[in-house]
Structures are given as C-alpha cells and as structure tokens.
Chains A and B, each alone.
Chain A
Amino acid sequence: MSWAALLLLATGAFAFKAAGNFGVGSVAANPIVVGLGRLLPPASWRRSSSTAH
C-alpha cells in the first residue's frame, strides 16, 4: 500500500469518527435545522394529508 493510500485511509477513518463526534450528533440541535424543522407542516397535518391520498 502506498503512502498516499495510507493517508487516504487515515483521513477517511478520522472523518467517520469526527462525523459522529461533531456532525451527526449535533445536527438535530443545530439552530438552522431546528428552524427548518419548524417550516415543516405539523405532524397532525401530515397524518391527515397522507390519509387523504
């Protein structure tokens, strides 16, 4: 395995670790995500809408 491939593996492995530590876990608490979530119709509306189709 070349040094370039080895460094690529190290980068990829760290990316997964960091994604969990910094990214995915905090996405739900991010103010932008929370704001976008508020733009979605309420769950009750979605339920009644889905049963109409």
Chain B
Amino acid sequence: MPISPHRRDAIVLGIAVGVFGVAFGVLATTSGFSVAQAVAMSLLVFTGASQFAAASVIGAGGSAAAALASALLLAARNGFYGISVAKLVPPDTPWWKRVATAQLTIDESTALGLAQQDPAKRYDAFLAGGLSVFVFWNLGTLLGAVGGDAIGDPAALGLDAAFPAGFIALMMPALRHRSGLLAAVAGAGIATALIPFTRPGIPVLAAALGAVLAFVTLGPLPE
C-alpha cells in the first residue's frame, strides 16, 4: 500500500530531527548527564530547544535553577502551538489520545499538521509528524549518549542545516499569503533584534508578536 505524502514527509522530518537527537545525546553526556538521564529527558521533556538549553547551561557550570529557567522559557512556546493544535483534534477523541497529542505538540508536528491544505488530513499529519520525531529523537539521543565521542558532532558534517531547511519548506504554503509573509518577516526581525540582548527563550516568544501584528493588520491566514 502506498504511503500518503504527509506520512512520508513525517518520516523524512523525523530522520532529520533524529540527527539533532544524536547531537543532544552527545551534549548531554559530555555536560555531566548520565545516559539514563539523557534518555529520560528526551522521553519525558521531548522539546529539543529546551533540552539543548538545559544541557548547555549545566555543561557551562550553571545551576539547575538557571537551566530550568532557560528551558522552561523556551518550552512556553509550545503553549502557543497547543492552541492551534487543539483545533485539529476531532471532538470525539478519547482523553488518552488528547494527552498524547499534548506531549507530541512541538515545532515540527505543529508545522506539519498546519501545512496540510486538506483540513481532514491535518490531525493525521500532526500525529504522524509527532510520532516520527518522537521515535527518531529518542533513538538519536540513545545513540549519541551511548556512542558519545565515537560519533562526533553531527554539525561538523553539515547535517544541522537539514532541519532548518525542512522547516522553511513546511512554512512555504503560509508564506504565499500576505499575512503569513508579514508574520514570518516581522517574527524573524523581532527575534534577530533581541538575540544579542536577551536570554534564550525570550526572542522566540517575542517573535510571536509578529503573528499578532500580521493578523491585526491583514487578518488571519485563510483555512
């Protein structure tokens, strides 16, 4: 049976994110986390930017409180994603599936779900993206944490460009509308301006103001 295009995209996206999982596993263990802690963090926290922030702060000698503050600040953006994702969930969805939906609410799954032109495919694309990223992110973390130095830094191979490139591709349908384009440009401008002056997490949250600006001036994206 042929695989649907959005599920195929989900697998490709998951593999790309899995490379980052390897990088996280390496970073976590070199920052003092045990293999079990690195793996547990990917399973339970499951939001890459926050995990990288926490491991980086601990690795640089920062306190657990500072690591938590940075990580939770970055995790706050998932609350914004959740508002959009809630609209994709069918009303008769059982509670356990809603809990799983919440845990899978991350950048990639949200983008893949919302990128579908057909509303009927959005929740399936969200779940496929979330599950694919969950599997490959955790496999990557395990590989990086156990393999450690033998693997090296995936960024040195240029693989770190795969994820941003894939994310921009997912954004392309929204950029065809004036409000989507304004939101992207304003958000990128706000984030870029704030990066040198604020702690990690603030720029990405403030970038959401770009969407507010676009929707107030040009209206929301069409369905």
Contact = CB atoms under 8 A, between A and B. Distances in A.
B197 to A, nearest CB: 24
Contacts of B85: 20-21
B161 interface: no
Closest 9 CB pairs of A and B: A20-B82, A10-B44, A25-B86, A21-B82, A20-B79, A13-B75, A5-B64, A25-B83, A21-B102
Interface of B: 32-33, 37, 40-41, 44-47, 50, 54, 58, 64, 67-68, 71-72, 75-87, 89, 98-99, 101-103, 105
Contact of A19 (B40, B79, B84, B89): B79
Contact of B37 (A6, A19, A20, A26): A6
Contact of A5 (B68, B76, B79, B99): B68
Contacts of A6: 37, 40-41, 44-45
Contacts of A19: 79, 82
A8 B33 CA distance: 16
Nearest to B87: A25
27 contacts: A1-B37, A5-B64, A5-B68, A7-B44, A9-B54, A12-B71, A13-B47, A13-B50, A13-B72, A13-B78, A16-B75, A16-B77, A16-B78, A16-B79, A17-B78, A17-B81, A17-B82, A17-B105, A18-B99, A19-B79, A20-B78, A20-B79, A20-B85, A21-B89, A21-B101, A22-B82, A22-B98
Q: Chain A interface: which size bin?
A: 20 to 34
Interface string A1-39: 111011111101110111111101110000000000000
